[in-house]
Structure 1
Amino acid sequence: MDVLGEPSVSRAPVAIVDRAQVRFDVGSNPVYRRVTDLSHFDAVLFDLDGTLIDTNRLIVTSFQHVFRTRLGLEVAPEEIYRFFGEPLRTTMTRFAPDRADELTEAYREYNLSVHDRLVRRFPGVNDAVAALRQAGVRLGVVTSKYTPLARRGLSVCGLEAHFPVVVGEDQTERHKPEPDPALLALELLGVQPGPRVLMVGDSPLDLRCGRAAGCRTAAVGWALDRAALAAGEPDFWLERPSDLVALVLSGAVSA
């Protein structure tokens, strides 16, 4: 999930967005200039970490603490980034298969103790989400994180009210990149899977999950490097949160 120019993918990502055509203003009367040749979406599913909220420091610090105190290992952030987006226990199994449960519990305990201090907002994300919700777009979160902690992160960043549906790794037997969590989120939202649903994330796992569920996909450029995202073959690249609003609401009345 983790700036190396445009990737080469089998389906060329749509370039977003001609900023001369878009005015992004979230307030009592948001106004959008029409962006042509982009799809309109009825629902958007978001990954959480690295997409909606900035938890990179939190996640790296938590892994390093557990690996150092329980396994005597010093692990560089770049190594940890490789496993961003997958279920926690899966990562722990990579390092110590016979102690995965112990390490998972230790991670969650430490992560919770520093969570509220280390979680940060991404500039512009809250405004973009509010604009989509105000426009009537149905929103959900699909995350590999444990659901209660995911909701806590949303709450700390002032986003919880916008997301009636949060599907965490504890709610499905199969996880990203399988389609199950995305399909469950859409079922709970009352939305049919298909090309009018957009899955937004910062990991190839997010993008593959969305595509497997029959949705279109968008990769965000405000978290980590774009290089690894090329493997996820996103339909769209979003350089900043306002690009998401322009994409999803491309059918809005022109200013």
Structure 2
Amino acid sequence: MPDRSTPDRSTPDRLPLPRAVLYDWDNTLVDNWGTVRSALNHALVSFDLAPWSEEEARIRIKQSLRDSFPRIFGERWTEARDLFYAYFAAHHLDHLRPLPGAESLLRSFAERGVYQAVVSNKNGKFLRAEAEALGWSGYFGRLVGAQDAAFDKPHGAPVLMALEPAGLPPGPDVWFLGDADIDMECAHGAGLVPVLIGLGEGSGFERFPPAHRHADCEALCGLVGGGGDTISVQSGV
């Protein structure tokens, strides 16, 4: 597969707007990283395991809890899950904040009739509570979190669930915006256009390269907000 991490200069520098955009949540649209890491470290320390540093956590926290906790905590992973969720439930709205340009991007796509949804590996209950707290629920046709579908991201099941209200099949007119290699893997697997926000978390970008990349939502918003039914692809970082 060719490296699509930067725009192909042989292609036109403008593309049609997508019919739908699916988003990752944490570190793509919102920052709630400190609470996630604190909740995980609470569980680790409770099991006499060493807490993870900021760098370790950013590398390791990508899979959903039901996929990652059995590997970390073994047969007692459900006890660790309960500790994590109890801590997170008590604190997850305390430090929640939108990332630069996120709300403007959501509004710009909504004004142009682009269907929007979320596919996250955050527990669906917390995901929807955070969207509601930010006043963003109305932007999304569906917010799909961990355990809402039969399988979690990068499996294609949550993608199908997210697109269902719009009656749209996965395809090249649907974008998946995310900050990590697992988001790009999900997009490739489902046949969506993978769009990377930021520098990218993870080591899987050679296997699952982004088609386009943007410094942040603010950079992409400036292009979408330009009007018309096309968008520039010259916003790489």
TM range (shorter): 0.7 to 0.9
1:19-69 Cα offsets, whole Å, 9 max, x none, are: xxxxxxxxxxxxxxxx94334211000011111111211111111111112
Q: Which residue is 1:23 aligned to?
A: none
| Residues 155 and 228 of structure 1, relative CA distance in 2, 3 Å threshold | farther
Q: Which amino acid aligns with 2:195?
A: A
User: Following TM superposition, by how much is the alpha carbon of 1:195 offset from its aligned partner in structure 2, in angstroms?
Assistant: 0.5
The Cα of 1:253 is off from its aligned counterpart by: 6.4
* Unmatched tracts of structure 1, length 5 or more: 1-8, 17-34
The alpha carbon displacement at 1:90 in A equals: 2.3
Aligned residue in 1 for 2:216: 240
Q: Taking structure 2 as the reference length, what is the TM-score of the superposition?
A: 0.85
Aligned residues: percent identity?
A: 25
Count of residue correspondences = 226
Question: Are the counterparts in 2 of residues 199 and 215 from structure 1 also a CA contact under 8 Å?
Answer: yes
- Residue in 1 aligned with 2:20? 43
Residue 79 of structure 1 is matched in structure 2 by: 56
In structure 2, the partner of 1:12 is 4
Asked if 1:208 corresponds to 2:185, the answer is: yes
Deviation at 1:188, TM superposition (A): 2.6
After TM superposition, the score normalised by the length of structure 1 is 0.80
Q: CA RMSD in A?
A: 2.5
Residue 205 of structure 2: aligned partner: 230
Spell out the pairing of 1:80-159 with structure 2 (5 A cutoff). 80-159=57-136
Query: Does structure 2 conserve the Cα–Cα contact (< 8 Å) formed by 1:175 and 1:181?
Result: yes
Q: Runs (4+) of structure 1 moved beyond 4 Å?
A: 224-227, 246-251
> Any unmatched runs of 5+ in structure 2?
231-237
Does structure 1 conserve the Cα–Cα contact (< 8 Å) formed by 2:19 and 2:174?
Answer: yes
Q: Which has the higher strand share?
A: 2
Q: CA deviation at 1:82?
A: 2.0
Tell me if the contact between 1:41 and 1:248 (Cα under 8 Å) persists in the aligned partners: no
Amino acid at match of 2:178: G
Say if 1:146 and 1:173 are closer, same or farther in 2 by CA, change over 3 A.
same
Greater relative contact order: 1 or 2 (C-alpha under 8 angstroms, separation 6 or more)?
A: 1
Counterparts of 1:109 and 1:252, CA distance in 2: 46
* Partner of residue 252 from structure 1, selected from 195, 205, 228: 228
The SS at the match of 2:219 is helix
